[in-house]
Amino acid sequence: MSYAKHGLRLDLRTLILVLCALTALVMLCASYFASYRVQRQLLIDHALEANRVYAMKLATITETFIGNAQQQLSFSAGMQGRQLADAGALQAETDRVLSQSMAFNSTFVLDANGVLLAISPAPLRHLVGSRMHSPGVQEALHERRPLVSTPYVSVANNLVVALSQPIFDSNGRYLGYVGGSLYLRERNILNSLLGEHFYKDGSYLYVVDRNRRLLYHPDSQRVGTVVEGNALIDQLATLGSGTRQVTNSQGVEMLAGFATVRSAGWGVVAQQPLAQTVAPLNRLILNVVGTSVPLALVGSLLLWWLAMTIARPLWQLAAGARSMDHAGTAERLRRVPAWYFEAAELKRALLFGLNLLQERIGRLNRDAQTDPLTGLGNRRSLEFGLSLLEAEGRAFAAIVVDIDHFKRVNDSHGHEVGDQVLRRLAELMRRCCREGDLLCRTGGEEFLMLLPGASLEVATVVAERLRVTVQDTPVAPVGAVTVSLGVARWDGQAGSEPGDALSEADRALYRAKQEGRNRVVIGT
Protein backbone atom coordinates (compact mmCIF):
# COMPACT_ATOMS: atom_id res chain seq x y z
CA MET A 1 0.00 0.00 0.00
CA SER A 2 2.71 2.48 0.96
CA TYR A 3 4.72 1.56 -2.12
CA ALA A 4 1.71 2.23 -4.33
CA LYS A 5 1.14 5.60 -2.72
CA HIS A 6 4.78 6.50 -3.02
CA GLY A 7 4.92 5.39 -6.66
CA LEU A 8 1.78 7.23 -7.72
CA ARG A 9 2.61 10.47 -5.96
CA LEU A 10 6.28 10.52 -6.86
CA ASP A 11 6.29 9.28 -10.43
CA LEU A 12 3.31 11.19 -11.82
CA ARG A 13 4.20 14.47 -10.20
CA THR A 14 7.85 14.20 -11.19
CA LEU A 15 6.93 13.34 -14.76
CA ILE A 16 4.65 16.37 -15.05
CA LEU A 17 7.24 18.70 -13.53
CA VAL A 18 10.06 17.43 -15.74
CA LEU A 19 7.95 17.55 -18.89
CA CYS A 20 6.68 21.07 -18.21
CA ALA A 21 10.11 22.34 -17.17
CA LEU A 22 11.78 20.93 -20.28
CA THR A 23 9.03 22.30 -22.51
CA ALA A 24 9.30 25.75 -20.94
CA LEU A 25 13.09 25.71 -21.19
CA VAL A 26 13.04 24.69 -24.85
CA MET A 27 10.42 27.31 -25.69
CA LEU A 28 12.32 30.06 -23.86
CA CYS A 29 15.61 29.18 -25.52
CA ALA A 30 13.97 28.97 -28.93
CA SER A 31 12.18 32.29 -28.47
CA TYR A 32 15.34 34.04 -27.23
CA PHE A 33 17.38 32.66 -30.11
CA ALA A 34 14.76 33.50 -32.75
CA SER A 35 14.26 36.98 -31.30
CA TYR A 36 18.00 37.60 -31.23
CA ARG A 37 18.48 36.45 -34.82
CA VAL A 38 15.56 38.50 -36.14
CA GLN A 39 16.47 41.65 -34.21
CA ARG A 40 20.13 41.31 -35.15
CA GLN A 41 19.28 41.12 -38.84
CA LEU A 42 16.93 44.09 -38.52
CA LEU A 43 19.70 46.14 -36.90
CA ILE A 44 22.15 45.14 -39.63
CA ASP A 45 19.69 45.93 -42.42
CA HIS A 46 18.83 49.29 -40.85
CA ALA A 47 22.51 50.20 -40.43
CA LEU A 48 23.33 49.18 -44.00
CA GLU A 49 20.48 51.24 -45.43
CA ALA A 50 21.33 54.24 -43.24
CA ASN A 51 24.95 54.11 -44.41
CA ARG A 52 23.87 53.80 -48.04
CA VAL A 53 21.59 56.84 -47.80
CA TYR A 54 24.31 58.73 -45.96
CA ALA A 55 26.91 57.89 -48.59
CA MET A 56 24.54 58.91 -51.40
CA LYS A 57 23.85 62.21 -49.66
CA LEU A 58 27.55 63.00 -49.35
CA ALA A 59 28.22 61.83 -52.91
CA THR A 60 25.51 64.21 -54.12
CA ILE A 61 27.04 67.04 -52.08
CA THR A 62 30.46 66.30 -53.53
CA GLU A 63 29.02 66.08 -57.04
CA THR A 64 27.38 69.47 -56.55
CA PHE A 65 30.61 70.96 -55.24
CA ILE A 66 32.59 69.71 -58.24
CA GLY A 67 29.91 70.98 -60.63
CA ASN A 68 29.92 74.44 -59.06
CA ALA A 69 33.70 74.56 -59.00
CA GLN A 70 33.86 73.59 -62.68
CA GLN A 71 31.35 76.33 -63.52
CA GLN A 72 33.54 78.89 -61.78
CA LEU A 73 36.59 77.67 -63.66
CA SER A 74 34.62 77.66 -66.93
CA PHE A 75 33.64 81.28 -66.44
CA SER A 76 37.22 82.17 -65.58
CA ALA A 77 38.49 80.29 -68.65
CA GLY A 78 36.30 82.48 -70.84
CA MET A 79 37.80 85.57 -69.21
CA GLN A 80 41.39 84.31 -69.42
CA GLY A 81 41.08 83.49 -73.11
CA ARG A 82 40.69 87.20 -73.92
CA GLN A 83 43.58 88.40 -71.74
CA LEU A 84 46.17 85.64 -71.95
CA ALA A 85 48.88 88.11 -72.94
CA ASP A 86 48.14 90.45 -70.00
CA ALA A 87 50.06 89.04 -67.02
CA GLY A 88 48.49 91.51 -64.59
CA ALA A 89 44.97 90.71 -65.70
CA LEU A 90 45.71 86.98 -65.52
CA GLN A 91 46.99 87.31 -61.98
CA ALA A 92 44.02 89.44 -60.91
CA GLU A 93 41.55 86.92 -62.31
CA THR A 94 43.42 84.06 -60.65
CA ASP A 95 43.29 85.89 -57.31
CA ARG A 96 39.59 86.56 -57.79
CA VAL A 97 38.73 82.89 -58.38
CA LEU A 98 40.66 81.83 -55.27
CA SER A 99 39.21 84.46 -52.95
CA GLN A 100 35.64 84.49 -54.28
CA SER A 101 34.59 80.91 -53.65
CA MET A 102 37.15 79.51 -51.19
CA ALA A 103 36.66 76.25 -53.07
CA PHE A 104 40.36 75.74 -53.84
CA ASN A 105 43.65 75.81 -52.01
CA SER A 106 45.26 77.33 -55.10
CA THR A 107 44.28 78.50 -58.59
CA PHE A 108 46.51 78.82 -61.64
CA VAL A 109 46.72 79.34 -65.41
CA LEU A 110 49.03 77.41 -67.76
CA ASP A 111 49.58 77.89 -71.47
CA ALA A 112 49.44 75.13 -74.07
CA ASN A 113 53.09 74.23 -73.40
CA GLY A 114 52.61 73.78 -69.68
CA VAL A 115 54.24 77.09 -68.70
CA LEU A 116 52.75 78.60 -65.56
CA LEU A 117 51.37 82.08 -66.43
CA ALA A 118 49.70 82.99 -63.10
CA ILE A 119 49.08 81.37 -59.71
CA SER A 120 47.47 82.22 -56.42
CA PRO A 121 48.09 82.41 -53.45
CA ALA A 122 51.05 84.79 -53.38
CA PRO A 123 53.63 82.42 -51.75
CA LEU A 124 53.56 80.31 -54.94
CA ARG A 125 54.15 83.14 -57.43
CA HIS A 126 57.87 82.41 -57.64
CA LEU A 127 56.83 79.46 -59.83
CA VAL A 128 55.39 81.75 -62.57
CA GLY A 129 57.26 81.20 -65.83
CA SER A 130 58.26 77.64 -64.97
CA ARG A 131 57.22 74.70 -67.09
CA MET A 132 55.15 72.19 -65.12
CA HIS A 133 55.79 68.48 -65.66
CA SER A 134 53.59 66.94 -62.97
CA PRO A 135 51.20 64.11 -64.00
CA GLY A 136 48.12 66.25 -63.40
CA VAL A 137 49.39 68.99 -65.71
CA GLN A 138 50.30 66.55 -68.45
CA GLU A 139 46.89 64.87 -68.14
CA ALA A 140 45.03 68.19 -68.49
CA LEU A 141 47.19 69.32 -71.46
CA HIS A 142 46.61 66.01 -73.17
CA GLU A 143 42.85 65.72 -72.58
CA ARG A 144 41.97 69.38 -73.36
CA ARG A 145 38.57 69.04 -71.66
CA PRO A 146 37.03 69.71 -68.24
CA LEU A 147 38.81 67.31 -65.97
CA VAL A 148 39.18 66.12 -62.38
CA SER A 149 42.71 64.77 -62.11
CA THR A 150 43.96 61.74 -60.27
CA PRO A 151 45.94 62.61 -57.11
CA TYR A 152 49.54 63.70 -57.76
CA VAL A 153 52.37 65.52 -55.99
CA SER A 154 52.68 69.12 -57.21
CA VAL A 155 55.90 71.09 -57.68
CA ALA A 156 55.21 72.63 -54.25
CA ASN A 157 55.30 69.09 -52.80
CA ASN A 158 51.57 68.99 -52.02
CA LEU A 159 49.38 65.94 -52.65
CA VAL A 160 46.67 67.51 -54.79
CA VAL A 161 43.62 66.85 -56.92
CA ALA A 162 43.21 69.46 -59.65
CA LEU A 163 40.05 70.59 -61.44
CA SER A 164 40.70 72.14 -64.84
CA GLN A 165 38.88 73.93 -67.67
CA PRO A 166 40.50 74.34 -71.13
CA ILE A 167 41.03 77.81 -72.64
CA PHE A 168 40.26 78.31 -76.33
CA ASP A 169 40.44 81.47 -78.42
CA SER A 170 37.64 82.66 -80.67
CA ASN A 171 38.92 80.41 -83.47
CA GLY A 172 38.82 77.33 -81.28
CA ARG A 173 42.60 77.14 -80.89
CA TYR A 174 43.73 75.56 -77.62
CA LEU A 175 45.61 78.11 -75.47
CA GLY A 176 46.04 76.24 -72.19
CA TYR A 177 43.85 75.79 -69.17
CA VAL A 178 42.78 77.33 -65.89
CA GLY A 179 42.80 75.09 -62.85
CA GLY A 180 42.09 74.89 -59.14
CA SER A 181 43.72 72.45 -56.77
CA LEU A 182 42.68 70.80 -53.50
CA TYR A 183 45.48 69.92 -51.08
CA LEU A 184 44.44 66.51 -49.82
CA ARG A 185 46.63 66.58 -46.71
CA GLU A 186 45.63 70.10 -45.73
CA ARG A 187 42.31 71.59 -44.78
CA ASN A 188 40.11 72.23 -47.79
CA ILE A 189 36.42 72.66 -48.50
CA LEU A 190 36.00 68.97 -49.39
CA ASN A 191 37.39 67.94 -46.00
CA SER A 192 35.03 70.42 -44.35
CA LEU A 193 32.00 68.98 -46.15
CA LEU A 194 32.88 65.41 -45.25
CA GLY A 195 34.51 65.89 -41.87
CA GLU A 196 31.51 67.62 -40.28
CA HIS A 197 29.55 64.35 -40.40
CA PHE A 198 31.87 62.19 -38.30
CA TYR A 199 30.04 60.16 -35.64
CA LYS A 200 31.30 58.95 -32.27
CA ASP A 201 30.00 55.37 -32.43
CA GLY A 202 32.81 54.01 -34.56
CA SER A 203 31.14 55.11 -37.80
CA TYR A 204 33.21 56.96 -40.36
CA LEU A 205 33.45 57.55 -44.07
CA TYR A 206 36.19 57.76 -46.63
CA VAL A 207 36.59 58.69 -50.30
CA VAL A 208 38.68 56.80 -52.85
CA ASP A 209 39.42 57.43 -56.50
CA ARG A 210 39.20 54.90 -59.29
CA ASN A 211 42.75 53.72 -58.49
CA ARG A 212 41.80 52.83 -54.86
CA ARG A 213 43.76 55.80 -53.53
CA LEU A 214 42.29 57.47 -50.46
CA LEU A 215 41.29 61.09 -51.06
CA TYR A 216 39.66 61.57 -47.67
CA HIS A 217 39.87 59.60 -44.45
CA PRO A 218 39.38 60.57 -40.77
CA ASP A 219 42.97 59.42 -40.24
CA SER A 220 44.87 62.03 -42.26
CA GLN A 221 47.96 59.80 -42.31
CA ARG A 222 46.14 57.40 -44.62
CA VAL A 223 45.22 60.06 -47.21
CA GLY A 224 47.06 59.33 -50.44
CA THR A 225 47.66 55.67 -49.65
CA VAL A 226 46.33 52.85 -51.82
CA VAL A 227 43.86 50.52 -50.10
CA GLU A 228 44.62 46.84 -50.57
CA GLY A 229 42.62 43.78 -49.59
CA ASN A 230 39.21 45.46 -49.57
CA ALA A 231 36.75 43.69 -51.89
CA LEU A 232 34.26 46.54 -51.75
CA ILE A 233 36.74 49.10 -53.09
CA ASP A 234 37.83 46.69 -55.81
CA GLN A 235 34.21 46.51 -57.07
CA LEU A 236 33.14 50.07 -56.32
CA ALA A 237 33.39 51.29 -59.89
CA THR A 238 31.08 48.55 -61.19
CA LEU A 239 28.61 48.47 -58.28
CA GLY A 240 27.71 52.18 -58.37
CA SER A 241 25.81 52.32 -55.08
CA GLY A 242 24.45 49.89 -52.54
CA THR A 243 25.33 48.12 -49.31
CA ARG A 244 27.79 45.43 -48.37
CA GLN A 245 28.94 43.63 -45.22
CA VAL A 246 32.70 43.53 -45.59
CA THR A 247 35.93 43.06 -43.69
CA ASN A 248 38.14 46.12 -44.08
CA SER A 249 41.87 46.18 -44.64
CA GLN A 250 42.46 46.15 -40.86
CA GLY A 251 40.43 42.94 -40.46
CA VAL A 252 37.40 44.62 -38.85
CA GLU A 253 33.95 43.44 -39.99
CA MET A 254 32.06 46.52 -41.20
CA LEU A 255 28.58 47.44 -42.44
CA ALA A 256 29.16 49.67 -45.45
CA GLY A 257 26.96 51.81 -47.63
CA PHE A 258 28.50 53.33 -50.73
CA ALA A 259 27.83 55.64 -53.65
CA THR A 260 29.87 57.10 -56.51
CA VAL A 261 30.69 60.62 -57.62
CA ARG A 262 30.36 59.95 -61.34
CA SER A 263 31.88 63.19 -62.61
CA ALA A 264 35.14 62.46 -60.77
CA GLY A 265 35.12 58.66 -60.65
CA TRP A 266 35.29 58.75 -56.85
CA GLY A 267 33.62 56.42 -54.40
CA VAL A 268 32.15 57.53 -51.08
CA VAL A 269 31.92 54.79 -48.43
CA ALA A 270 30.14 55.23 -45.09
CA GLN A 271 30.60 52.36 -42.67
CA GLN A 272 30.40 51.32 -39.05
CA PRO A 273 31.70 48.30 -37.15
CA LEU A 274 29.34 45.33 -36.97
CA ALA A 275 30.26 44.70 -33.34
CA GLN A 276 29.16 48.16 -32.23
CA THR A 277 25.96 47.89 -34.27
CA VAL A 278 24.76 44.74 -32.51
CA ALA A 279 26.17 45.63 -29.07
CA PRO A 280 22.87 47.22 -27.89
CA LEU A 281 21.04 44.04 -28.87
CA ASN A 282 23.39 41.92 -26.77
CA ARG A 283 22.71 44.13 -23.75
CA LEU A 284 18.98 43.98 -24.45
CA ILE A 285 18.95 40.17 -24.57
CA LEU A 286 20.83 40.03 -21.27
CA ASN A 287 18.30 42.40 -19.73
CA VAL A 288 15.44 40.26 -21.03
CA VAL A 289 17.02 37.11 -19.60
CA GLY A 290 17.55 38.87 -16.27
CA THR A 291 13.95 40.00 -16.23
CA SER A 292 12.76 36.49 -17.07
CA VAL A 293 14.48 34.83 -14.10
CA PRO A 294 11.92 35.96 -11.48
CA LEU A 295 9.12 34.99 -13.86
CA ALA A 296 10.74 31.59 -14.35
CA LEU A 297 10.83 31.07 -10.58
CA VAL A 298 7.17 31.99 -10.32
CA GLY A 299 6.45 29.65 -13.22
CA SER A 300 8.31 26.83 -11.47
CA LEU A 301 6.19 27.29 -8.37
CA LEU A 302 3.09 27.33 -10.54
CA LEU A 303 4.19 24.10 -12.25
CA TRP A 304 4.77 22.47 -8.90
CA TRP A 305 1.33 23.53 -7.75
CA LEU A 306 -0.27 22.29 -10.97
CA ALA A 307 1.53 18.96 -10.68
CA MET A 308 0.27 18.55 -7.14
CA THR A 309 -3.23 19.54 -8.24
CA ILE A 310 -3.24 17.00 -11.07
CA ALA A 311 -1.81 14.16 -9.00
CA ARG A 312 -3.93 14.65 -5.88
CA PRO A 313 -7.39 14.04 -7.49
CA LEU A 314 -6.23 10.81 -9.04
CA TRP A 315 -5.15 9.42 -5.71
CA GLN A 316 -8.23 10.80 -3.99
CA LEU A 317 -10.52 9.14 -6.53
CA ALA A 318 -8.77 5.81 -6.01
CA ALA A 319 -8.89 6.16 -2.22
CA GLY A 320 -12.58 7.09 -2.38
CA ALA A 321 -13.31 4.09 -4.59
CA ARG A 322 -11.81 1.76 -1.95
CA SER A 323 -14.44 2.85 0.53
CA MET A 324 -17.37 2.39 -1.85
CA ASP A 325 -19.14 -0.93 -2.41
CA HIS A 326 -21.36 -0.75 -5.47
CA ALA A 327 -22.45 -4.01 -7.11
CA GLY A 328 -22.68 -2.66 -10.64
CA THR A 329 -19.21 -1.17 -10.49
CA ALA A 330 -17.69 -4.32 -9.13
CA GLU A 331 -19.29 -6.42 -11.89
CA ARG A 332 -17.89 -4.31 -14.72
CA LEU A 333 -14.48 -3.83 -13.17
CA ARG A 334 -14.20 -7.57 -12.55
CA ARG A 335 -13.76 -8.13 -16.29
CA VAL A 336 -10.71 -5.83 -16.39
CA PRO A 337 -7.33 -7.54 -15.81
CA ALA A 338 -6.31 -5.41 -12.87
CA TRP A 339 -3.06 -7.10 -11.91
CA TYR A 340 -1.69 -4.37 -9.66
CA PHE A 341 -3.13 -2.53 -6.70
CA GLU A 342 -3.36 0.98 -8.27
CA ALA A 343 -5.27 -0.33 -11.30
CA ALA A 344 -7.77 -2.17 -9.09
CA GLU A 345 -8.35 0.98 -7.04
CA LEU A 346 -8.89 3.14 -10.15
CA LYS A 347 -11.26 0.57 -11.66
CA ARG A 348 -13.50 0.71 -8.60
CA ALA A 349 -13.41 4.53 -8.79
CA LEU A 350 -14.25 4.88 -12.51
CA LEU A 351 -18.01 4.38 -12.34
CA PHE A 352 -18.34 6.52 -9.25
CA GLY A 353 -16.35 9.32 -10.82
CA LEU A 354 -17.88 9.09 -14.29
CA ASN A 355 -20.64 11.61 -13.69
CA LEU A 356 -18.30 13.95 -11.87
CA LEU A 357 -15.80 13.64 -14.69
CA GLN A 358 -18.42 14.41 -17.31
CA GLU A 359 -19.54 17.48 -15.38
CA ARG A 360 -15.97 18.63 -15.04
CA ILE A 361 -15.30 18.12 -18.74
CA GLY A 362 -18.40 20.14 -19.59
CA ARG A 363 -17.34 22.92 -17.27
CA LEU A 364 -13.79 22.93 -18.63
CA ASN A 365 -15.16 23.05 -22.16
CA ARG A 366 -17.24 26.10 -21.31
CA ASP A 367 -14.31 27.73 -19.54
CA ALA A 368 -12.05 26.97 -22.50
CA GLN A 369 -14.39 28.91 -24.80
CA THR A 370 -14.99 31.86 -22.44
CA ASP A 371 -12.82 34.90 -21.79
CA PRO A 372 -12.47 35.01 -17.98
CA LEU A 373 -12.33 38.81 -17.75
CA THR A 374 -15.36 39.78 -19.84
CA GLY A 375 -17.40 36.60 -19.93
CA LEU A 376 -17.51 36.80 -23.74
CA GLY A 377 -16.35 34.06 -26.04
CA ASN A 378 -12.64 33.68 -26.76
CA ARG A 379 -10.85 32.73 -29.97
CA ARG A 380 -11.71 29.07 -29.54
CA SER A 381 -15.38 30.00 -29.29
CA LEU A 382 -14.97 32.18 -32.38
CA GLU A 383 -13.37 29.37 -34.38
CA PHE A 384 -16.12 26.98 -33.36
CA GLY A 385 -18.82 29.49 -34.38
CA LEU A 386 -17.14 30.16 -37.71
CA SER A 387 -16.84 26.44 -38.45
CA LEU A 388 -20.57 25.98 -37.79
CA LEU A 389 -21.52 28.92 -40.03
CA GLU A 390 -19.25 27.66 -42.79
CA ALA A 391 -20.58 24.12 -42.52
CA GLU A 392 -24.14 25.42 -42.80
CA GLY A 393 -23.21 27.86 -45.58
CA ARG A 394 -24.93 30.56 -43.58
CA ALA A 395 -24.05 34.18 -44.34
CA PHE A 396 -23.01 36.48 -41.52
CA ALA A 397 -21.74 39.98 -40.86
CA ALA A 398 -18.62 40.63 -38.79
CA ILE A 399 -17.95 43.72 -36.69
CA VAL A 400 -14.41 44.19 -35.39
CA VAL A 401 -14.29 46.54 -32.39
CA ASP A 402 -11.16 48.18 -30.98
CA ILE A 403 -10.97 50.58 -28.01
CA ASP A 404 -9.30 53.84 -29.02
CA HIS A 405 -6.16 54.80 -27.07
CA PHE A 406 -6.59 51.86 -24.68
CA LYS A 407 -2.86 51.83 -23.87
CA ARG A 408 -3.21 55.40 -22.65
CA VAL A 409 -5.96 54.24 -20.25
CA ASN A 410 -3.70 51.51 -18.84
CA ASP A 411 -0.72 53.85 -18.56
CA SER A 412 -2.73 56.65 -16.92
CA HIS A 413 -5.10 54.72 -14.65
CA GLY A 414 -3.61 51.26 -14.25
CA HIS A 415 -4.59 47.82 -15.47
CA GLU A 416 -7.46 47.44 -13.00
CA VAL A 417 -9.23 50.44 -14.55
CA GLY A 418 -8.34 49.05 -18.00
CA ASP A 419 -10.00 45.76 -17.05
CA GLN A 420 -13.04 47.71 -15.88
CA VAL A 421 -13.24 49.42 -19.28
CA LEU A 422 -13.06 46.03 -21.03
CA ARG A 423 -15.84 44.61 -18.87
CA ARG A 424 -18.01 47.68 -19.48
CA LEU A 425 -17.53 47.40 -23.24
CA ALA A 426 -18.51 43.72 -23.09
CA GLU A 427 -21.67 44.70 -21.19
CA LEU A 428 -22.54 47.36 -23.79
CA MET A 429 -21.94 44.87 -26.61
CA ARG A 430 -24.43 42.47 -25.04
CA ARG A 431 -26.89 45.32 -24.74
CA CYS A 432 -26.53 46.40 -28.39
CA CYS A 433 -26.40 43.01 -30.11
CA ARG A 434 -29.24 40.83 -31.32
CA GLU A 435 -30.31 37.54 -29.85
CA GLY A 436 -28.22 34.76 -31.36
CA ASP A 437 -25.22 36.97 -32.14
CA LEU A 438 -21.78 35.68 -31.11
CA LEU A 439 -19.63 38.09 -29.08
CA CYS A 440 -15.92 37.38 -28.62
CA ARG A 441 -12.85 39.02 -27.19
CA THR A 442 -10.06 38.31 -29.67
CA GLY A 443 -7.18 40.28 -28.16
CA GLY A 444 -6.20 42.81 -25.52
CA GLU A 445 -8.67 45.56 -26.47
CA GLU A 446 -10.09 43.98 -29.61
CA PHE A 447 -13.53 42.40 -29.81
CA LEU A 448 -15.54 40.73 -32.55
CA MET A 449 -19.28 40.47 -33.15
CA LEU A 450 -20.64 37.79 -35.50
CA LEU A 451 -24.18 38.54 -36.71
CA PRO A 452 -25.57 35.40 -38.45
CA GLY A 453 -27.86 36.21 -41.37
CA ALA A 454 -27.36 39.98 -41.01
CA SER A 455 -26.91 42.25 -44.00
CA LEU A 456 -24.26 44.96 -44.15
CA GLU A 457 -26.95 47.56 -43.48
CA VAL A 458 -28.13 45.79 -40.32
CA ALA A 459 -24.55 45.25 -39.14
CA THR A 460 -23.75 48.92 -39.75
CA VAL A 461 -26.75 49.96 -37.67
CA VAL A 462 -25.63 47.65 -34.84
CA ALA A 463 -22.06 48.95 -35.07
CA GLU A 464 -23.14 52.58 -35.05
CA ARG A 465 -25.48 51.93 -32.13
CA LEU A 466 -22.63 50.38 -30.19
CA ARG A 467 -20.27 53.23 -31.07
CA VAL A 468 -22.73 55.88 -29.88
CA THR A 469 -23.59 53.90 -26.76
CA VAL A 470 -19.93 53.53 -25.80
CA GLN A 471 -19.27 57.19 -26.54
CA ASP A 472 -22.21 58.27 -24.35
CA THR A 473 -21.38 55.92 -21.46
CA PRO A 474 -18.51 57.31 -19.39
CA VAL A 475 -16.41 54.95 -17.32
CA ALA A 476 -15.11 56.29 -14.02
CA PRO A 477 -12.42 57.48 -13.56
CA VAL A 478 -11.51 57.43 -17.27
CA GLY A 479 -14.48 59.39 -18.52
CA ALA A 480 -15.61 59.08 -22.12
CA VAL A 481 -14.23 56.12 -24.07
CA THR A 482 -14.56 55.68 -27.82
CA VAL A 483 -14.25 52.70 -30.13
CA SER A 484 -13.42 52.21 -33.79
CA LEU A 485 -15.32 49.57 -35.74
CA GLY A 486 -14.83 47.74 -39.01
CA VAL A 487 -17.75 45.97 -40.69
CA ALA A 488 -17.67 43.25 -43.36
CA ARG A 489 -19.93 40.42 -44.54
CA TRP A 490 -19.51 36.84 -45.73
CA ASP A 491 -22.21 35.78 -48.16
CA GLY A 492 -21.76 32.04 -47.58
CA GLN A 493 -21.01 31.37 -51.25
CA ALA A 494 -18.47 28.84 -52.43
CA GLY A 495 -15.07 30.19 -53.34
CA SER A 496 -14.71 32.35 -50.25
CA GLU A 497 -13.99 31.63 -46.62
CA PRO A 498 -15.30 33.20 -43.41
CA GLY A 499 -11.78 34.31 -42.62
CA ASP A 500 -11.87 36.60 -45.66
CA ALA A 501 -14.68 38.59 -44.06
CA LEU A 502 -12.73 38.87 -40.81
CA SER A 503 -9.67 40.09 -42.71
CA GLU A 504 -11.78 42.65 -44.56
CA ALA A 505 -13.30 43.82 -41.27
CA ASP A 506 -9.78 44.17 -39.85
CA ARG A 507 -8.78 46.32 -42.82
CA ALA A 508 -11.88 48.44 -42.36
CA LEU A 509 -10.95 48.87 -38.68
CA TYR A 510 -7.47 49.94 -39.73
CA ARG A 511 -8.96 52.57 -42.02
CA ALA A 512 -11.19 53.74 -39.18
CA LYS A 513 -8.09 54.22 -37.06
CA GLN A 514 -6.34 56.10 -39.86
CA GLU A 515 -9.34 58.35 -40.48
CA GLY A 516 -9.43 59.59 -36.90
CA ARG A 517 -10.95 56.82 -34.74
CA ASN A 518 -14.42 56.81 -33.12
CA ARG A 519 -16.12 55.80 -36.34
CA VAL A 520 -17.57 52.88 -38.28
CA VAL A 521 -15.98 51.91 -41.59
CA ILE A 522 -17.55 49.36 -43.92
CA GLY A 523 -15.28 46.97 -45.79
CA THR A 524 -15.35 46.91 -49.57
Span 481-518, pLDDT tens digits: 999 999 999 987 767 889 899 999 999 999 999 999 99
Average pLDDT for 364-379? 84
Same domain, 385 and 509: yes
Same domain, 124 and 169: yes
- In DSSP terms, which residues pair with 174 in a beta bridge? 168
Task: Please say which residue of 277, 312, 347 terminates a domain.
Answer: 277
State what percent of residues in the chain have pLDDT above 70: 84
Same domain, 393 and 501: yes
Q: Give residue-wise pLDDT tens across range 12-27.
A: 667 767 777 788 788 8
Angle, CA 108 vertex, CA 107 and CA 110 arms, to 5° = 160
Same domain, 247 and 260: yes
Same domain, 89 and 151: yes
Distance CA 355, CA 358 (A): 5
Same domain, 252 and 199: yes
Same domain, 402 and 518: yes
Average pLDDT for 200-210? 78
Same domain, 160 and 239: no
* pLDDT score of 456: 93
How many domains is the chain partitioned into structurally? Answer: 4
Average pLDDT for 86-114? 86
Please name the residue ranges forming H helices in 371-455.
Answer: 379-392, 406-413, 415-432
* pLDDT score of 62: 83
Asked whether residue 305 is assigned to any structural domain, the reply reads: yes
Asked whether residue 49 is assigned to any structural domain, the reply reads: no
Asked whether residue 301 is assigned to any structural domain, the reply reads: yes
Q: What are phi and psi of 382, to 5 degrees?
A: -65, -45
Same domain, 199 and 317: no
pLDDT, greater one: 275 or 398 = 398
Place 109 in a pLDDT band, splitting at 50, 70 and 90: very high
Q: How many CB atoms lie within 10 A of CB 239?
A: 15
Asked whether residue 102 is assigned to any structural domain, the reply reads: yes
Query: Residues, the chain, total?
Result: 524
Q: Is 445 a catalytic residue?
A: yes
Residue 337 has pLDDT above 50, yes or no: no
Same domain, 515 and 408: yes
Task: Please say which residue of 301, 335, 364 terminates a domain.
Answer: 364
Average pLDDT for 91-118? 86
Same domain, 295 and 265: no
Asked whether residue 58 is assigned to any structural domain, the reply reads: no
- Options 63, 345, 445, 504, the catalytic residue: 445
Same domain, 72 and 159: yes
Domain range for 346: 2-44+278-364
CATH classification of the domain holding 387: 3.30.70.270
Contacts of 377 (CB under 8 A, 6+ apart): 369, 370, 371, 385, 438, 439, 440, 441
pLDDT, greater one: 12 or 324 = 12
